[in-house]
Every structure is written in C-alpha cells, then in structure tokens.
Chains A and B, each alone.
Chain A
Amino acid sequence: MTAESTTPPREPDAFEQAMDRRPVKGRSLWVDAWHRLKRNKAALAGAGLLVVIVVMVTIGPMLNPWDHEIPDWDHYSTPPSLETGHLMGTDALGRDLFERVMVGGRISLLVGLVATLVSLFIGVLYGATAGYLGGRVDNWMMRAVDAIYALPFMFFVILLMVVFGRNIFLIFVAIGAVNWLDMARIVRGQTLSLKNKAFIEAARASGATERQVIVRHIIPNLLGVVAVYVSLTIPQVILVESFLSFLGLGVQEPLTSWGALVNEGAQELETAPWSLLFPAAFLAATLFAFNFLGDGLRDALDPRDR
C-alpha cells in the first residue's frame, strides 16, 4: 500500500484520456452539412425545381400577353394550344390559364412564405423563452402547447375564416398562428439541450453575459433546426391555404391561388381536364420539391444521423 500515496487520483486515467482524443476532422457544421446536401440528389433536384417554379411565376406573367382577369372573348374552355396563344388553354370564362396559374402561384408561394415567417416568429420566441427559462415556467408553457396541440387545426382555421370573413391577411395570420406549435416544441427542446452543453457553461464561466451567450452561442446553434423546420413548414402552409381556397374559404376573386384553381378545374373535369391538371401539377411539384429539400436539409443538418 505504499504506492497509494504517490498514485495520482484515479479519474480520469491517462489511458482513458488518450482514448477520448480520437481524431476529429476540423469541419464545421455548415461545411459538413453542405457536403452531405450535395450528395443528396433528390434534395438538389428539389431545390432546382423550386428555383424554376419561382422564376416562372415571377417573370411568367411579364412575358405572357394575357391578363388573369380579362377573358379572351373568342376562346372559352379551349385546350392548350400555340395557335390561340393560350399555352395552358383557357377556363370556362375564357381566361388564360397560364396567366392564372402563374398569378395563383405567386399567391400560394407568398402565403407559404409569410405564414411560415409568422409561425417562425411566434414559435422561436415562445420555444426559446420556455427552454431558456426552464423549470416551472417551461413546464406550464409547454403544457399549454400540448393542450392546443390536441385541437383540430384545420377546423379552427375554418372557424376563424367564418367568423372574421375571408381576407388574405387573415389567412396569413390564421395559418401562421396555428402552425407555430411545432416550431415552439423543437426550439424549446434544442434550447434546453444547448443550455446544458459544456461550451455554454464554458462561455458563462469565462464571464460572458446572458445576452452574449444567447446571441453568440444559442442562436447560431438553433439556426440549423430552424432552417430544416422552415423548409418543411412552407409546404404545409401552402397545403393549408390551397385546402381553404379549394373549399372557397381562402383567397377570393379576382385573386386566385393554386388551391382555388384546382377547385375550379375540378368542376370542369369532364369538359376541360387541363384546367385541373396544370394547377394540380404546379401545386404538387412545389410541395414535392419542398418536401425533398426539407428532408435533405434534415439529413444534412441533424447531428443524430452521424
């Protein structure tokens, strides 16, 4: 037992320490994520498709001679044709479908973007507050989220539309306001786990203020999940808007959106199937592209998959 006095404390022994020092490549999260994303062909195709769609709805109406409201009196319900100049045909009122699909696309994408930003704002604020404060406040805040979570969303949005009338700003707010729950949960979970990470402790121990901790450490580390979530929320929101518009509760004439166009098309199914097919294809392609991109981003940015 003589050796005991000279033996240093047992933990952590040098061998274990040596084991902890495994080779780590000095790649940052974002560079790493970019490399993974580049390998994901489906996600890249999704991104490419989105760019095409966005460019189309942006400059398409500028190049197209027709107006989305004014009918072409010579052509009612005509199929797509180069001769008439109606690339996607006309609807029962003689309006140019290409123009309407492009203008409708602007609305659908805009709603997707704005409503997502609304839900992002509420969700991040709520979730980060709950996660950062922790304890009892967190407990109650998340219970409230759970309680609201169990409500039937879409019915509530419809109720809102019924009560407050159908206008586009209300759609933004209504959709955004019900969609923030997921974001709040995710951000809260992330904040909670970040808060206890060693590097945050280290920052605090070295004298950083709370503000610095939040701005320099918590927010940058939240960006990844937020990016993933945004790319997955936009298609959801577009879907909700088109659902409402399909029912006649969303965007109202003279404005239109893909959902409203699908609705019109579905009513002329037998006489003018193209008036269903074009908006349906654009809507589905957009959702498809967003979903693939979001999936790819999640795989690229989610550290659990490593």
Chain B
Amino acid sequence: MLNYSLKRLASAVPTLLILITVAFFLIRIAPGGPFDSEKALPPEIEANLEAKYQLDDPLVVQYVRYLGDILMFDFGPSFHYRDWTVNELIAQGAPVSFTLGAIALVLAMLFGTTIGVWAALKQNTVADYATMSIAMIGISVPNFVMAPLLVLAFAIGLGWLPAGGWDGSVSRMVLPSIALALPMIAYIARITRGSMIEVLHSDFIRTARAKGLPEREVLVRHALKPALLPVISYLGPAAAAILTGSVVIERIFTIPGIGSHFVQGALNRDYTLVMGVVIFYGVLIIVLNYLVDLVYAWLDPRIRYDN
C-alpha cells in the first residue's frame, strides 16, 4: 500500500510540473505584454513596470523563480487589480466556491448513486428506461443552459427562490448547487447503474446467491462495494467538472467565488490571475485525484495487498 502510494505520488509530480511549465511559457510567448492592453505606455514606465514584476530577467531565471513562488503558493500580484495579489483574490473567493462545490458534489453522489442502484435493480423495466432517458437529458443539457432555465422557472416564474447573489443563506445556495449538481447526478447515476448491472451478473454474486443469502444481503454485503468503486474513481474527474461548472454557475448567479474572478480575469487578460487560478485548480485536482486513488486502492484488496 505504501509502495503504491509512493508510486502514485511519483506520477503526480510530473503532472504538476507539466502544468506549471506549460502555463508559464504560454504566458511568456503570448503576443503582447500584459500592459499594452490599454493605451500605449511610455517606454520608461513600461520598463519600470517590467522591473517591478521582474519581467526583465532572463527567462530561465524567471521560470525558476516562478517555480519557487508556486511552491510557496505565491501567485504574485494581479495585473489588472493593481492593489490585489492573486493570492488575496483566490483566498477571498475560495470559501464561497468550495461551499458551493462541496454541496453540489454531495448532492451528486447521494442522488446519483441512489438513482443508479435503483435503476439497476429495475433493469429493463419501464422505470429503468424512463430514469435513464431522464439521465440522458440531464447529461445533454449543459449547466449553463439548466441554470437560466431554473432561474426562469423558480425565481422569475414561481418566485420561490432568489435569482442570484450570495450571502451564505441556504435559499441562495439552492438553485446554484442544484444547477451545478444536475448533470453530475445524471452522470453518476449512469455509471452506477452500469457497474451495478455488471456486478450483479458476475460469478461471485451467483455464488452469494447459491449460498442462500437473501437478496438484500447479496446486494448490501456483496454487490454494493464493487458497484460503487467506479463512482469513487470518478470523484476526481467529478471534482474537475464541478470546478469547471462553477465558473459559469457563479457568473449566472453572480456569486463572488474564484470562478467569477477567473472569467473576469480572462476577459481582462489578467495573466497572473488566470494562471494563478489554473494552477491553483490544477494542483487541487491533482491532489484530489491522488487522494481518490489512495482511497480506491485501500478499498480494493487486489491493490491493497499487491506485492
């Protein structure tokens, strides 16, 4: 197990390095500097600015320094919001984004797996087909389409919930977290159904039945764990999808999270901010993937006791 976790860690590090390196050089080869977006600055001021942001050093020096900064989680100053560092912007948005993301992820897991297991048990019945068709719609309607539709129905039409904003109250969390979770629920339901059906047809489930265990026990003791393993390994990509989705959801519901900074940064060509968010999220996803893999390995004795 220790062996496995080290091996897995060894493969996460190069991913991180690729991420940072690509991001760094992309910015550097970008046409035009960060300061020529507005009116042209006098050369001496530009030089001053470049010196201030240490853009006048050789590329390799900048790269190494950048690596060091990233390791210390220092993303530097924002190019657009001159008084803010990227760290401050991220720290300000993170609690909001994480609350939203965590709620969505929990909703997705809870409903996705339940619906999936249920559909698997009803395999090839009308209920199963209906559920899976709805799930397919859920996957096909992107959350930036679903979100305004939800607003139209529940905020503008019925007036039950606020259409946007964020003050930490539950009523303002409902629509955005549902919009964020819906496609994920559909996706997890499909994964769960598929793996549950596969497991239920496997030899060891036949053995469990041949042992005379009641169907409920066959399901709970023997089938559930292997059926949910694919969902566990989907958690990494799911987290990535939630982070991606939060970018549009935060924009639609005017929620002051990292996502809205990111979009604004992208539109303003705020290089350091965009890159800071990309790397921050990248690291987050890589770390999450690593943790998920460890949990998976721990749950699967074939990896846990692999020599």
Contacts and interface: CB of A to CB of B under 8 A. Distances in A.
Interface of A: 42, 143, 146-148, 150-156, 158-165, 235, 239, 242-243, 246-249, 259, 262-263, 265-266, 269-270, 273, 276, 280, 283-284, 287-288, 291-292, 295
Interface string B14-30: 11001100110011011
Contacts of B19: 151
A291 B151 contact: no
Interface stretch (B42-50, B81-89, B214-222, B278-286): B278-286
A160 B26 contact: yes
A154 B247 CA distance: 10
Interface residues of B, number: 52
A235 B278 contact: no
Contacts of B145: 262, 280, 283-284
Nearest to B157: A273
B281 A150 contact: no
B30 A163 contact: yes
Contacts of A265: 148
B189 to A, nearest CB: 14
Contacts of B144: 242-243, 246, 259, 262-263, 266
Interface of B: 11-12, 14-15, 18-19, 22-23, 26-27, 29-31, 133, 136-137, 139-142, 144-145, 147-149, 151-152, 156, 236, 240, 243-244, 247-248, 251-252, 262-263, 265-267, 269, 271, 274-275, 277-278, 281-282, 285-286, 289
A247 B247 contact: yes
Nearest to B290: A150
Contact of A273 (B30, B152, B281, B285): B152
B66 to A, nearest CB: 15
B149 A288 contact: no
B11 A147 contact: yes
A288 B30 contact: no
Nearest to A249: B266
| Residue in B19, B148, B263 whose Cβ sees the most chain A Cβ within 10 Å | B148
Given A146-B11, A243-B142, A269 B282 contact: no
Given A152-B244, A243-B248, A292 B136 contact: yes
Given A276-B149, A276-B152, A155 B286 contact: no
| Residue in A161, A243, A266 whose Cβ sees the most chain B Cβ within 10 Å | A266
Contacts of B277: 155
B52 to A, nearest CB: 22
Contact of B289 (A143, A150, A158, A270): A150
Given A150-B285, A163-B30, A284-B145, A269 B151 contact: yes
Given A163-B26, A247-B247, A280-B145, A291 B139 contact: yes
B1 to A, nearest CB: 20
A165 B31 contact: yes
B285 A152 contact: yes
Given A156-B278, A287-B140, 5 more contacts: A150-B286, A151-B19, A155-B262, A158-B278, A266-B147
A162 B271 contact: yes
Nearest to B183: A239
A276 B248 CA distance: 16
Given A158-B274, A235-B140, A247 B266 contact: yes
A291 B140 contact: yes
Given A152-B282, A159-B278, A164-B31, A276 B266 contact: no
A154 B156 CA distance: 31
A155 B283 CA distance: 12
Given A151-B15, A165-B31, A239 B142 contact: yes
Nearest to A258: B145
Given A152-B278, A160-B26, A42 B266 contact: no
Contacts of B27: 163
A106 B115 CA distance: 36
A291 B187 CA distance: 12
Contacts of B152: 269, 273, 276
Nearest to A149: B15
A162 B274 contact: yes
Contacts of A249: 263, 266-267
29 contacts: A147-B15, A147-B18, A150-B236, A150-B285, A152-B285, A154-B247, A155-B278, A156-B22, A156-B278, A158-B274, A159-B23, A159-B275, A163-B26, A163-B29, A163-B271, A235-B140, A246-B144, A246-B248, A247-B247, A249-B267, A266-B144, A269-B152, A273-B152, A276-B148, A280-B148, A284-B142, A287-B141, A288-B141, A291-B139
A247 B286 CA distance: 25
A163 B248 CA distance: 20
